[in-house]
Amino acid sequence: MNPTSLNIEDFLNHKYIKFDEFKDLIIFHYKEDCVYDKAWDEITKAARGIIFNKKTGELVARPWSKFFNLGEMPESCIDVLKDKAFYVLQKWDGSMGILYKYEGEYYVATKGSFTSEQAKWATEWARKHINFNNINDNFTYIFEIIYPQNKIVVNYGDMEELILTGVINKQDGKEKDYDELWEEGSLLKVKCAANGILRVFMSLNELAEHCKTLPHSQEGFVVTFPDTGFKLKIKGQEYLRIHKIISNLTPLAFYEAWDVKEKKIPDLYLAQVPEEFRTFTDEMNIIINKMHNDLYDEVLNEYDIMVEDYATKTKEPFDIKSFAIECQIHHKNNMSLLINVFKAQYDKMWDNIHKRLRPTGNILPVSYKVKCDIHGRLERINDN
């Protein structure tokens, strides 16, 4: 898709895009199930707070298209990008704010709403502090909204700021580079993400290793390749660890989300998980389902062997009394589940399987454990 050909109809008719409206304006954002279904195309990527005028079709504000974590997509892998020049900006831990102009007044929207609490706060702050005389209306100005009531993970204390993170040409989507961004921050008299980067990283590997050492008071970095405009993000390992806890992404949370009637974790639950943990979520979903199905298969196999052995020895089928005695003597561990099978109580069996598998101490059994690195990749833990 040509970046200059964005039009409102492409977004209105897309199944994976939602919207919010304010007077004559409409803002688009991709739906949660777009992330879950990995339904990324040029339209869903662009639907991250893009604003149009409904009556005229005018493109009012154009933030960045969706960009991903290092290694999350084939095009964001180190091997693909290792020889390309890049610069980094500090990643601030707040909400994205999109400055736009309507009927001669400036407002700030968040990536999916004109009227969120963050948007209202940012609009008020901007009107008090930003020098609008230096705004070029051919560009979209992007900020990170930071104030105490909008704390995500990083505690910025009493800081109240709109931090300039990008300035994007509305027509072609190209953004101003590091030095230009710093100059724009000075003109607007706001803090800028181009300030405070004291270290030059010679490679993405070096930057990724550095992110493993970041304290939880730093979220990470946004990486931009100026030759192509390609962007990616790298978050600190400690930040992700705390974010995962806050988001309740634990074995117990996934276990409790497992639905006995559906015999799986509902898609609606999975679609709500923060994007940073999509790989972790997919793996945990597989593991929790596998734990249930493995026990179910184990019990059915055990039952079949019991029935065959008993018939071979006695030439008679089991009755409930003899079956219970056999379970008590030789199959005590799975006795209740085996009796569920004998009585064809399969709904009750699944309920009992689920109760049996509750993670002790919120820890998965060793044979099912995984670990997740800072890019969301998972590896099996060596059982040795």
229-270 pLDDT, tens digit per residue, is 999 999 998 888 888 877 777 888 888 889 999 999 888 788
Q: Which residues contact 171 (CB under 8 A, 6 or more apart)?
A: 4, 59, 138
Residue 146, SS3 per DSSP: strand
327-337 pLDDT, tens digit per residue, is 999 999 999 99
Would you state the torsion angle of the CA atoms of residues 324, 330, 332, 335, taken in this order, to the nearest 10 degrees? -40
196-229 pLDDT, tens digit per residue, is 655 678 899 999 999 999 988 899 999 999 999 9
pLDDT for res 246: 74
Please, are residues 232 and 374 in contact by the beta-carbon 8 Å criterion? no
Distance CA 225, CA 204 (A): 11
Range in 124-128, 175-179, 365-369 with the lowest mean pLDDT: 365-369
Domains of the chain plus CATH, in order, are: 62-236 (3.30.470.30), 247-380 (no CATH)
167-201 pLDDT, tens digit per residue, is 999 999 999 999 999 999 999 999 999 876 556 78
Q: What is the β-pairing status of strands 105-110 and 139-146? A: unpaired
| For the chain, percent of residues with pLDDT exceeding 70 | 93
56-67 pLDDT, tens digit per residue, is 999 999 999 999
- The count of other CB atoms within 10 Å of the CB of residue 292 is 19
Q: What is the pLDDT confidence band of residue 122, given thresholds at 50, 70 and 90? A: very high
